[in-house]
């Protein structure tokens, strides 16, 4: 197992390095440059050229690449062109919000998805099952941004239970943090919870037909033990896979939610940085997301082994 983990850790390096090189090239080869965005729409060509020289953007691409590569190897991601502070200081400020939001959304998605999937499977083909399946189809079909606006209208504007937007860090109190994170997390997690509901239902139905479940029941074990200890544990494996994929999807799709709820997260930072052509921030953001995804996938692989005794890594 340890050898396997070591190998996987080594594989993370190319996994994050390849997208980083692609981002480096795509940013510099696409039209638009930071100097023009920094000086604004009334700057003349001469002023933009002077700033390009000052920022080192007039150097040949291969020279820029070597400077960038040296920075990556020495863990120096450079300085933001716009914020004028090191990327290594900017990214954690924004990434913290996004990671917390994703974790809460994932937790909500798993809790709702597993519970609804089990309820649906245990009520196969009756009205409860149909109701859950219909709701799940709706959940998959609803765009997140629209669902977010709907949540704001219902819970913030009409009921006034939550603030419309803004973010309170956990250090200011868990309740205050919870009121600002709940609606965004629900909006972000709803589609994934619908997917997990369907996955859990289908997986649970398969497992309930397995001979070892029949054996467990024949041995007189209580139904709660049969379901909780034997059926759900096995049925959860596909859901764990979906959860891993969901985390990746959420990290990528968090932008719209962060914009709607005015959350100072990494997704919004990245979109702004791409629009401004703030190369070091974009590269730092992509590196962070790639790293988080790679580690998350590794954790999920390890979880397989914990959930299913038949899986052993060599």
**Footprint of another protein (CB under 8 A):** 30-33, 36-48, 51, 54, 80, 82-85, 89, 93-94, 149, 152-153, 156-157, 160, 163-169, 171-173, 176, 179-180, 259-262, 264, 268-269, 272, 275-277
What is the nearest approach in angstroms of another protein to the Cβ of residue 291? Answer: 22
Residue closer to another protein, measured from CB, 66 or 149: 149
Rounded Cα–Cα distance for residues 103 and 87 (Å)? 23
Residue closer to another protein, measured from CB, 21 or 176: 176
Cβ-contact 118, 232 below 8 angstroms = yes
Picking from 266, 272, 247, 262, the residue whose alpha carbon sits closest to that of residue 148 is 262
What is the nearest approach in angstroms of another protein to the Cβ of residue 222? Answer: 46
Cβ-contact 280, 87 below 8 angstroms = yes
What is the nearest approach in angstroms of another protein to the Cβ of residue 185? Answer: 15
What is the nearest approach in angstroms of another protein to the Cβ of residue 103? Answer: 19
Other residues' Cβ atoms within 10 Å of the Cβ of residue 51 = 19
**Contacts with 247 (C-beta within 8 Å, 6 or more apart), sequence order:** 102, 106, 293, 296
What is the nearest approach in angstroms of another protein to the Cβ of residue 21? Answer: 21
Residue closer to another protein, measured from CB, 132 or 266: 266
Residue closer to another protein, measured from CB, 20 or 164: 164
Residue closer to another protein, measured from CB, 263 or 292: 263
Alpha helices, H only, the chain: 2-29, 34-39, 45-55, 61-73, 87-122, 127-141, 144-151, 174-208, 211-218, 223-225, 232-260, 266-276, 279-307
What is the nearest approach in angstroms of another protein to the Cβ of residue 271? Answer: 10
In degrees, rounded to 5, the angle at the alpha carbon of residue 190 between the alpha carbons of residues 185 and 191 is 125
Residue closer to another protein, measured from CB, 240 or 281: 281
């Amino acid at each position: 197992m340890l050898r396997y983990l070591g190998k996987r850790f080594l594989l993370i390096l190319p996994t994050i390095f390849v997208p980083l090189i692609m981002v480096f090239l795509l940013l510099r080869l696409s039209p638009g440059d930071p100097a023009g965005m920094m000086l604004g729409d009334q700057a003349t060509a001469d002023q933009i050229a002077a700033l390009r020289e000052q920022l080192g953007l007039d150097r040949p691409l291969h020279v820029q690449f070597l400077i960038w590569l040296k920075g990556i190897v020495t863990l120096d991601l450079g300085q933001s062109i716009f914020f004028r502070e090191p990327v290594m200081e900017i990214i954690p400020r924004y990434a913290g919000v996004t990671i917390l939001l994703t974790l809460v959304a994932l937790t909500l998605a798993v809790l709702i998805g597993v519970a609804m999937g089990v309820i649906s499977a245990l009520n196969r083909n009756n009205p409860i099952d149909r109701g859950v399946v219909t709701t799940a189809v709706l959940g998959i079909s609803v765009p997140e941004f629209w669902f977010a606006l709907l949540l704001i209208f219902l819970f913030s504007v009409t009921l006034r239970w939550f603030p419309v937007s803004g973010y309170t860090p956990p250090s200011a109190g868990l309740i205050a943090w919870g009121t600002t994170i709940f609606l965004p997390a629900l909006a972000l997690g709803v589609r994934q919870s619908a997917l997990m509901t369907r996955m859990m239902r289908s997986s649970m139905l398969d497992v309930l037909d397995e001979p070892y479940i029949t054996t467990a029941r024949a041995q007189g074990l209580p139904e709660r033990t049969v379901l909780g200890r034997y059926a759900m544990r096995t049925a959860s494996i596909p859901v764990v896979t979906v959860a891993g994929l969901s985390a990746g999807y959420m990290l990528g799709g968090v932008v719209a939610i962060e914009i709607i709820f005015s959350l100072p997260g990494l997704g919004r930072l990245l979109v702004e940085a791409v629009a401004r052509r703030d190369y070091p921030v974009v590269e730092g953001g992509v590196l962070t997301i790639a790293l988080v995804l790679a580690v998350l996938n590794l954790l999920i692989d390890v979880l397989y082994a914990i959930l299913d005794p038949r899986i052993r890594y060599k």
